[in-house]
Amino acid sequence: MESALYTFLPQTRDLQTTLMILLGAGLATVAFSIFLLYRPRVLANRLLQLLLPMSLFFIGIISLAAAAINGLALIRLYPIQLFAHSLLMQGKSVEYSNVNNAYILKEQELSPLTSQVVSTQISFLAIEKSDGTVVRFSEEYYPIREILGQMKVIIEKK
């Protein structure tokens, strides 16, 4: 097996931080709601004694569900490896001869208040394969300009 000429690891620090915050908040609120539910009754208002743990439990469950979704997004980020004759992306090897095109794609999201103002603009590295599928890598997680530049250098050497 040949060694990779270039390896690009996804930048997942933001996802990991968000995952830890959501897990911590979710577990803390669920634990605190269970503690409030089973402690001796101190408050005179019975409705408040049941409503507070229930609302905290729902907040905790929502936090844990968001953490699960964030964790799934984190698992789907693979390193991109460039070899002399192929590239390894998403755990699958693709020969350069099977790549039709690779380019930078910019997407703009318009503001919900006015349609003339662009609120966010994200660039993607789009790799079109010969079977018609397009694989996109976001600039949020990958150095897409470096990847595209190195791919072009490797293909030109062939």
- 111 and 69 within one domain: no
The answer to whether 32 and 56 are in contact (CB under 8 A) is yes
Q: Which two tokens stand for residue 39?
A: 């402690």
pLDDT in tens, 53-102: 899 999 999 999 999 999 999 998 989 999 888 899 888 888 988 888 89
- 62 and 12 within one domain: yes
- What is the residue range of 24's domain? 6-75
Residue 84 maps to a domain:
no
Residue 134 maps to a domain:
yes
Q: Helical H runs in the chain? A: 13-38, 46-75, 144-157
**pLDDT for the residue numbered 44:** 65
Residue 90 maps to a domain:
no
The answer to whether 137 and 124 are in contact (CB under 8 A) is yes
Q: What single DSSP character describes residue 4?
A: P
- 118 and 65 within one domain: no
Residue 138 maps to a domain:
yes
Residue 80 maps to a domain:
no
The model carries a pTM of 0.75
- 101 and 69 within one domain: no
Q: Helix, strand, coil proportions of the chain in percent (round to 5)?
A: 45, 25, 25
Residue 82 maps to a domain:
no
Residue 92 maps to a domain:
no
pLDDT in tens, 16-39: 999 999 999 999 999 999 988 887
pLDDT in tens, 54-67: 999 999 999 999 99
Say how many domains are in the chain. 2
